[in-house]
Amino acid sequence: MTTESVKMSCLCCGTDCGTFREPHRATAWSATGNYGSTLYDPMTGSCSLQVYICDTCLKEREDRVISINTEQPRPVHTLRRGILSPEDDWGDLGILGPEDTEPAIGG
C-alpha cells in the first residue's frame, strides 16, 4: 500500500478527509511525541503520529484551539484562543499573555 492510497478520517467525527497525501477539507496534525503524554512519547525521533481533523470539527471546537504567533522572538509568543491566520490583527483579539490565568483548553 502506498501513502497516496491510505484513506484518512477525521479524528473527531470519522468523516472522510481524503488520503494521507491529499487531505480534503481537513488539516493534518503530526506529533513526534510529547513530554506530557503517558500514551505516546517514543523518545527516538524515528516515528510520529499523524491525525486529520475536518474543517467542520475544527471550527465547531474553535474554543479549544490556541493560535500561536511564532514570529515573535522566543521564549515569548502571542497566544490567542481560536483559529487565527498571520494576516489577522493580533492586537485587538483578546491576546493571552504570560500573566493571564485562563483555564486549560477545553476546561
Q: Is residue 10 predicted with pLDDT exceeding 60?
A: yes
Q: How much is the pTM?
A: 0.67
The pLDDT of residue 87: 67
Q: State the residue range of the domain holding 102.
A: 61-107
Return the higher-pLDDT residue of 20 and 106: 20
Q: Rounded distance, CA 49 to CA 41, Å?
A: 10
Do 12 and 61 form a contact (C-beta atoms < 8 A)? yes
The domain tally of the chain equals 2
Across residues 74-83, what is the average pLDDT?
64
Are 50 and 70 found together in one domain? no
35-70 pLDDT, tens digit each: 777 777 777 667 778 899 999 999 999 888 888 777
Residues 6 or more apart in contact with residue 16 via CB below 8 angstroms: 7, 8, 9, 24
The pLDDT of residue 58: 93
Are 69 and 40 found together in one domain? no
The pLDDT of residue 48: 79
Are 67 and 107 found together in one domain? yes
Return the higher-pLDDT residue of 93 and 42: 42
Binned at pLDDT 50, 70 and 90, residue 25 comes out as: very high
Are 70 and 90 found together in one domain? yes
Are 70 and 101 found together in one domain? yes
Residues 6 or more apart in contact with residue 65 via CB below 8 angstroms: 58, 81, 82, 83, 105
Q: Which one-letter DSSP state was computed for residue 54?
A: E
Q: Rounded distance, CA 85 to CA 66, Å?
A: 11
Q: Tell me how far CA of residue 70 lies from CA of 9, 74, 76, 88, 99, in angstroms.
A: 29, 8, 9, 14, 19
